[in-house]
Amino acid sequence: MKILVTGGRGYVGTRLADALKKKGHSVKTLGIEKDSDFVADITDFGKISKAVKGFDAIIHLAALIGVKESREQPTRYFMTNSIGTLNMLEAARMNGIKKMVFASSLTVYGEPEHLPVDENHPLKPLSPYGYSKVVAEDFCRAYSELYGMTIVIARLANLYGPGQSGDLFMPTVLSQLKKEKITIRSLDFKLDYMYIDDVVSALTACLEYGKSDVFNFSAGRSVSGKEIIDALSKIVGRTLVVETTNPKKEKEITLDIRKAKKILDWEPKIGIEEGLRKSIGHNICENELIT
């Protein structure tokens, strides 16, 4: 299959493209990175409509992902995440591409009304980022219903893994493991995390599914900030000292992944401790990480 991965040189896209190539697919990437096969912003319809020609399927990962930043730049987020997705859908329709996988987010649910959160939970996001994903999902459903496209929406939990960067809890903590004290905003949360390899297998399962649908993907259980720190302390062999700058309690969220297990025969393989070990490397010497 000839597959175009948008955001294909990003953290998830790079690993997904490699995995798909190993399965025998022909894969090209589209994104703003200079090493993409097609260098284009998804808000530029003229460029992407030319780039998508000749592909059998699109996996659409390209997006802005900062929840905090989205509150400061809502227009930019809606233009990229919502209108950019509409552009990809229309470019696919114009070029006869009938298959798309769209990477959405657990942020579409907002504050949970019940746990675990299944796919029928009301969508009440708390940020422009979450709303931009809801709008993009609506565009996906519209194109599926109006034009007969097969579009699978993957609502992904918080992801982590080796080499991840950004202003997120996991990379913030992991980048400070060699320091005497770790400084983070808060430990007072319980969130659903998913290791990068499980994200890749989830998106691959969506690609191989033959109907339009929406699925949750996660580790299937939430972990607290304290559990993560305790697990890392065990791995590195010393008690990690943590200072919090904004100890604000957040609501727990756990995604219900029974639908993906039943219909896609998918399930996460990497638990939190194994995932953390893989993220920092196995070689520990004199309480320092060998990277």
Sheet of 158-160, strand order = 158-160, 190-195, 222-224
- Output the pLDDT for position 73: 97
Query: Can you give the pLDDT of all 291 residues of the chain as single tens digits?
Result: 999 999 999 999 999 999 999 999 999 999 999 999 999 999 999 999 999 999 999 999 999 999 999 999 999 999 999 999 999 999 999 999 999 999 999 999 999 999 999 999 999 999 999 999 999 999 999 999 999 999 999 999 999 999 998 888 899 999 999 898 999 988 888 999 999 999 999 999 999 999 999 999 999 999 999 999 999 999 999 999 999 988 777 778 999 999 999 999 999 999 999 999 999 873 333 333 322
- Output the pLDDT for position 249: 74
Name the strand (E) or helix (H) holding 239: none
Q: Which domains does the chain have, with CATH numbers?
A: 2-161+193-221+254-270 (3.40.50.720)
**Cα–Cα dist 213/234, whole Å:** 40
The one catalytic residue in 11, 77, 109, 129 is 129
- Output the pLDDT for position 246: 81
- Output the pLDDT for position 5: 98
- Output the pLDDT for position 283: 33
How is the chain split among helix, strand and coil, in percent rounded to 5?
40, 20, 40
Task: Identify the three-state secondary structure at position 173.
Answer: helix
Reply yes or no on whether 129 is catalytic. Answer: yes
Strands (E), 7-156: 26-31, 38-39, 57-60, 99-105, 150-156
**Cα–Cα dist 141/137, whole Å:** 6
Residues 6 or more apart from 73 whose CB is under 8 A from it? 128
- Output the pLDDT for position 290: 28
- Output the pLDDT for position 288: 36
